[in-house]
Chain A
Amino acid sequence: DQQVKQNSPSLSVQEGRISILNCDYTNSMFDYFLWYKKYPAEGPTFLISISSIKDKNEDGRFTVFLNKSAKHLSLHIVPSQPGDSAVYFCAARTEYGNKLVFGAGTILRVKS
C-alpha cells in the first residue's frame, strides 16, 4: 500500500536556509492533507494541513503547497532552525475519511 509516498528518506539543510519536503500520492479520492512532525520517542505532532480546494496554506515559517493535477504536495520551512530537525510525515485522507494514510517519513537535519 503505497498511496502516500515520501521518496526522500532524509534531507540536510543549513540553518537559515529553506527546507523543502516532498510528498506524492496516488489516490485521487484524497482531499485533505496534513504534515506531522515527530521527534524520537514521541508521538507525531500536527504541523499544518491543506484542503484540496486550496493550493497553498501558510502558518508562520511553514507553508504547504498542493498541486492536485500532479498529485504532489510540499512543505516549505523558511528559515530552517536546528529545532526543526525531526522526522516529517505527510498524511492524507478522503473526504469524511476515518483514517489517515501516512508516508514513510523524511528525516530533516538542520545544521547550525
Chain B
Amino acid sequence: EPEVTQTPSHQVTQMGQEVILRCVPISNHLYFYWYRQILGQKVEFLVSFYNNEISEKSEIFDDQFSVERPDGSNFTLKIRSTKLEDSAMYFCASMWQINEKLFFGSGTQLSVL
C-alpha cells in the first residue's frame, strides 16, 4: 500500500533555530496536512494545504510556521524560530479528495532544547 513518508524521524534543535520537516505525500493525493502531538496529549490539527495554498490553519499555526510544496512530491513544514513548547511529534498526512480517509506518515519527533 502506498504510504506517506516523513524525514527525519528525529530532529533535535536548539531554541531559536529554524527547522524544516519534510514529507512526501502519496503521489495522487491532492490534500495535505500537518498535525502534531505533544507527549501525552491529543493529535492537533495545524494546517491544511490544497491547490498550492493554505486552506485552513489552527491558532497554533502562527507566523513562526510556514508550509511549502516546492515541487510535485515534497511538502514541508518550517518553524522559523523554535521554542521549547514546539517539542512534539509532527505528523504529515494526505488524502486524495475530501471525504476520503486521511493517511498519516510515521512522524518526526522534534525536540527543542
Contacts and interface: CB of A to CB of B under 8 A. Distances in A.
**A and B bound?**
yes
Contacts of A96: 98-99
A108 B11 CA distance: 29
A44 interface: yes
Given A42-B106, A43-B91, A99-B33, A49 B43 contact: no
B108 to A, nearest CB: 10
Main SS of chain B's interface residues?
A: strand
A98 B55 contact: yes
B101 A104 contact: no
A66 interface: no
Given A43-B104, A98-B31, A98-B56, A32 B43 contact: no
A89 interface: yes
A15 B55 CA distance: 44
Interface string A95-112: 111111111110000000
A45 interface: yes
A100 B35 CA distance: 10
Contacts of A103: 42
Interface of B: 4, 6, 31, 33, 35, 41-45, 48, 50, 55-56, 91, 93, 98-99, 101-107, 109
Leading 6 A-B pairs by shortest Cβ distance: A43-B104, A102-B43, A104-B42, A46-B101, A43-B106, A99-B45
28 contacts: A41-B107, A42-B106, A43-B4, A43-B6, A43-B91, A43-B104, A43-B106, A43-B107, A44-B91, A46-B101, A46-B102, A89-B42, A96-B98, A98-B31, A98-B48, A98-B50, A98-B55, A99-B33, A99-B48, A100-B45, A100-B102, A102-B35, A102-B42, A102-B43, A102-B44, A104-B41, A105-B42, A105-B43
